[in-house]
Structure 1
């Protein structure tokens, strides 16, 4: 069963792409909406020396055919049918859900190798972890998915969504060329309503481990000494040879979160991020206001989702849902409770 689901998920992952700006649709012709990415730039003084960012992607744009009201990605379950709204601006909400998932075990995790930005898929255990993660979040609304540009994070997101009770279909945004944009347009309003856009970004990639990538972790400790390897892996500002420190990873990941993901949440959209141990640690450091010393001791297990609720602009951690009926998650917010109730009724 897991292998079959994996095969279906891999079939959707034909390329990596960006969609950095969902909030500013423009009406063109017959409800044609062009969503244009911003040029990604160096932020917070972040250096781009060497190969630290695993092959940065080209600047891109995406075209989706949709009505202006649908570009707000409001889940039909969480809102009853309403009269058409002449305003193009999505309604703002004071509450939204944020799901963070570290990818399932990869084939190099299984072999105890430093992976970093090397693009390797999930192991069989990782596939099972992603499916189990999906079961845990199956009653939590998801309007838009952000992933890293690496296949293990994208596989995790796709496999998790196969378990969601809403049965919406994740659609990876393909926009490598004008032809790709034209060929990937969706012309059914009903299909668009049952879809979730998936935006991939290199800024959410794992920390680049430089010359350690591909090396066995135990053999590396034997060669360089346990203390030195521990400093490379767990210090905040010491990078491995020709690699990134956690501080450097945090600069790019948090800047992307602030600029492109947080606005989605503030507008009331429910977001899932499937990424990596260090990029997610960086985002959690921002959400929980952790110090550089506190974040280095933060451990994230593979395939275990973590839920945050944003209320009145404040992020509140709810932990990991144990099961779709886990009381603590739904008791906290009326919106999530009503969403689950409507799913049950359906």
Structure 2
């Protein structure tokens, strides 16, 4: 199969910049995030990629990133599907707090456990395991059929919802996925075998570093 699936985490958001747990809250992109999305669109265009269908979450930082990418690529209009199944992990009571505030309230060890464990959710929120329980079935039912049919597909979503999907695609263990971080607006390009296994994976990444992936 020569067609591609591309996963893109949204560009830097206003709350990413402030190091705030974001989750399902809905801030938009910063100026840096806008530039990152433009870069992603241009590098995908340079790869010769055009997309038949696109998927994104119900949150505007992912939607805005996708709009910019598709605009940079140009060409024929791409069908866009928005679904809450691709939303960021819900951080519950951590949402709206920066890491220092969260540590003061619950302690550093507990906050680290919520951020970096696979199956321990913060109060009122989701674990990465919970996120995977909605993202992976959505992929199999709604995204994979388009890839299997030979279409180029792009998914613009969030650090944790994409990590949950990458865990399935790359057959990673819970321990392995916890060490996987995604740079903002850095496309992950996949090509598959007819059976649905990953035949090739490339990350198109800028030279700058990654952030902490809090939404």
Q: TM-score, normalised by structure 2?
A: 0.91
Q: 1:142 aligns with which of 39, 45, 51?
A: 51
The alpha carbon displacement at 1:116 in A equals: 0.2
Shift in Å, 1:322 = 6.0
1:155: Cα distance to partner?
Answer: 0.4
Q: Matched residue pairs, number?
A: 203
Higher helix share: 2
- CA displacement, residues 85-141 of structure 1 (integer Å, 9 cap, x when unaligned): xxxxxxxxx442000000001011111111000011101111111111111111213
Work out which of the residue numbers 84, 89, 101 in structure 1 matches 2:8.
101
| 8 Å CA contact 2:183, 2:205 repeated in 1 | no
**Structure with bigger gyration radius:** 1
Residue 112 of structure 2 corresponds to residue 203 of structure 1: no
CA–CA distance in structure 2, aligned partners of residues 232 and 322 of structure 1: 27
Which residue in the other structure is 2:28 paired with? 121
Aligned partner (choices 250, 265, 283) of residue 147 of structure 2: 265
The answer for the alignment partner of 1:256 in structure 2 is: 138
Aligned match for 1:321, one of 198, 201, 204: 204
Instruction: Describe the superposition over 1:32-74 as per-residue Cα deviations: whole angstroms up to 9, x where unpaired.
Output: xxxxxxxxxxxxxxxxxxxxxxxxxxxxxxxxxxxxxxxxxxx
Secondary structure at 1:96 match in 2: coil
Q: Quote how far apart the aligned CAs of 1:236 are.
A: 0.4
Unaligned runs of 5+ in 2: 207-215
Distance across 2 between alignment mates of 1:262 and 1:115: 28
Q: Show CA shifts across 1:242-263 (max 9, x none).
A: 1001000001001100110001
Please give the secondary structure, in 2, of the residue aligned with 1:241.
coil
Query: Secondary structure of 1:198's match?
Result: strand
Instruction: Report deviation, 1:224.
Output: 1.6
1:133 aligns with 2:34: no
Cα distance change of structure 1 residues 222 and 322 upon mapping to structure 2, 3 Å threshold: closer
1:162 matches 2:71: yes
What does 1:177-256 align with in structure 2 at a 5 Å threshold?
194-256=76-138
- Distance, in Å, in 2 between the alignment partners of 1:195 and 1:140 is 13
Q: Is the 8 A contact 2:23 2:88 kept in 1?
A: yes
Q: Matches of 1:201 and 1:99 in 2, distance apart?
A: 17
Q: 1:236 and 1:158 mapped to 2: Cα distance? A: 31
Aligned-partner Cα distance in 2 for 1:311–1:291 = 21
Determine if contact 2:57/2:157 at 8 Å carries over to the other structure. yes
- Higher normalized contact order (CA 8 Å, seq sep 6+, divided by chain length): 2
